[in-house]
């Protein structure tokens, strides 16, 4: 299809590009959930390479240009390094369940609270404002290093960055909405070795961030009813739990894919889990851990005041045990349950220490 005619001072048409395209005659069709990412994973467009040699950033399935420059510099180019089977579902769910901290939280339901309870709420809100965006900063960094051939996984991480941004702002808003203020930061996500920020491998990062870190916070959010004093707080915890559950699901599904497709890396993954278990109750990033600021705040909130600290502590211990139980389920679901049978896991020991 080449035009040989000229049009005055308009350039001639080349049109040679019209015959250069990816697989043609594609008829993706919307399904019952709309027109989802899963619906366009058809034919060659749905084929995800085990290794990606796409260094130009071209869309998967498009016709490559021989003279394209290698701009991408992607370091994540192996499917098992980042893949998960249900990425399309998680992404679409994330878009459907986006919410607004400005208008979806009944802020007017917040009424003055006893000073000790308000301080505990504000300390927890300060902590959550501080730690939630580690799960925004870090996935963002990995997104830019991942080949677009694995765009489905990247899309989920992009939605996560947005979710975490909202978490950061909703807890800031809570701290400033009821006569209190921000309190003392914890440094829980500082740049220490073994920290989420410094991971040099995506799966290592995901096991720290999604499985142990966010998993622990998810348990707290799910127990939000126990520490909420009004509908606004209940709404915040419920909506955050919804988001956090997707992030944890990403980690579980990724580990499962890794376990099934890279058995040689299983021992390595176990060592990340060893590390996670070692600090599960002591890590400052776990609000139910042993850091005084957060654990005492939780005890006040769970008990109903500083004078009911003991009652709150018992509930905190129940939460710690639930965190450990939920962690166990996740690890089993991810395909690493053998560690609980062969004595490698420290979970039983941790269960006993939960009351300390």
Partner 1 sequence: MADSQTGTKSAGDSRPMDIPEPKFNWMNQSRQWGTRVTPDKKGLTLDKTNVGIYGEVPQRWGDQGRNPRGAIPVKGALPIGYSVTQKTELWADCAAELYEEAIQRRWAPATDVPWSSIQPLPNDVEVAICQVCTEILQYANIDIEVLTNWQHRMSYGYHEVKQFLATASLDAARRYEAFRKRALINGGGLGLEPTGQANRFLLESRGGWTETVAGLALIRTLFVATVCEYLYKHSYNDAERVVYSFVIQDLARLLTYGVEHLKFSLAHDDERRGSVITMIAIGLGMFARDLRDPVLREALAIVFGGGISGARNEGMSIYYDLIEDFRERHLAMRRWLDLPADAATMPRAFRPRDQN
Give the nearest distance from C-beta 59 to partner 1 in angstroms.
Answer: 5
- Residue 229 Cβ vs partner 1, minimum distance, rounded to whole Å: 16
- Cβ proximity of 78 and 147 under 8 Å: no
Q: Looking at beta carbons only, is 126 or 203 nearer to partner 1?
A: 126
Min dist CB 199 to partner 1, Å, is: 13
Nearer to partner 1 by Cβ, of 26 and 260: the residue is 26
179 or 263: CB nearest partner 1: 179
- Tokens 């607004």 correspond to what residue? 100
Q: Name the minimum Å distance from CB 44 to partner 1.
A: 9
Which residues contact residue 286 at a Cβ distance below 8 angstroms, ignoring those fewer than 6 apart?
213, 216, 217, 280, 323
Q: How far is the CB of 56 from partner 1 (least distance, A)?
A: 6
* Spatial separation of the C-alpha atoms in residues 199 and 216, rounded to whole Å: 19
Min CB(267)–partner 1 separation in Å: 28
What lies within 8 Å, CB to CB, of 114 at 6+ separation is 305
Is the Cβ of residue 37 or residue 332 nearer to partner 1 in the bound state? 37
Nearest to 17 by CA among 7, 30, 3: 3
Q: Which two tokens stand for residue 58?
A: 């071209």
Rounded least distance, CB 102 to partner 1, Å: 3
Q: How would you class 50 by CB atoms within 10 Å of its CB: exposed for 0-12, middle for 13-18, buried for 19 or more?
A: exposed
CB contact burial 288-309 (16+ within 10 A = b; e otherwise): bbebebbbbbbbbbbbbbbeeb
Q: Which is nearer to partner 1, 146 or 323 (CB)?
A: 146
- Our CB check for partner 1 shows the closer of 135 and 211 to be 135
| Nearest-angstrom CA–CA distance, 316 and 302 | 7
Q: Minimal distance in Å, beta carbon 270 to partner 1? A: 26
Number of neighbours of residue 25 by Cβ within 10 angstroms: 5
Nearer to partner 1, 23 or 278 (CB): 23
Residue closer to partner 1 by CB (options 163, 273) is 163
In terms of C-beta distances under 8 Å and separation of at least 24 residues, what long-range contacts does 259-267 make, across chains too? 259/334, 259/335, 259/336, 260/335, 261/79, 261/80, 262/80, 265/80, 265/203, 266/336
Cβ 207 vs Cβ 274: under 8 Å: no
Phi and psi (nearest 5°) for 76?
A: -95, 100
């Amino acid at each position: 299809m080449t035009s040989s005619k000229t049009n005055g001072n308009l350039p001639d048409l080349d049109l040679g590009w019209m015959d250069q395209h990816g697989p043609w005659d594609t008829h993706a069709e919307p399904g019952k959930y709309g027109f989802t990412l899963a619906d366009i994973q058809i034919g060659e467009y749905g084929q995800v390479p085990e290794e990606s040699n796409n260094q130009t950033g071209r869309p998967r399935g498009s016709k490559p240009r021989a003279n394209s420059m290698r701009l991408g510099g992607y370091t994540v180019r192996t499917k098992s390094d980042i893949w998960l089977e249900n990425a399309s579902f998680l992404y679409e769910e994330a878009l459907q369940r986006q919410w607004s901290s400005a208008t979806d939280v009944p802020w007017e339901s917040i009424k003055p609270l006893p000073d000790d309870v308000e301080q505990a709420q504000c300390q927890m809100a300060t902590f959550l404002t501080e730690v939630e965006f580690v799960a925004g900063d870090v996935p963002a960094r990995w997104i830019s290093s991942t080949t677009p051939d694995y765009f489905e996984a990247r899309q989920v991480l992009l939605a996560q960055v947005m979710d975490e941004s909202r978490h950061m702002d909703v807890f800031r808003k809570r701290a400033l909405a009821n006569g209190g203020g921000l309190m003392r930061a914890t440094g829980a996500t500082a740049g220490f070795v073994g920290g989420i920020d410094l991971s040099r491998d995506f799966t290592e990062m995901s096991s720290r961030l999604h499985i142990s870190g966010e998993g622990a916070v998810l348990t707290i959010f799910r127990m939000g009813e126990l520490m909420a004093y009004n509908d606004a707080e209940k709404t915040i915890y419920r909506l955050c739990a919804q988001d956090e559950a997707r992030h944890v699901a990403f980690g579980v599904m990724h580990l499962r894919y890794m376990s099934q497709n890279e058995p040689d890396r299983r021992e390595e993954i176990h060592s990340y889990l060893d590390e996670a278990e070692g600090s599960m109750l002591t890590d400052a990033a776990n609000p139910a851990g042993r850091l005084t600021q957060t654990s005492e705040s939780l005890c006040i909130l769970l008990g109903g005041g500083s004078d009911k600290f003991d009652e709150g502590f018992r509930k905190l211990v129940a939460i710690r045990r639930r965190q450990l139980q939920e962690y166990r389920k996740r690890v089993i679901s991810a395909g690493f349950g053998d560690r609980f049978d062969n004595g490698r896991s420290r979970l039983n020991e941790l269960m006993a220490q939960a009351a300390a």
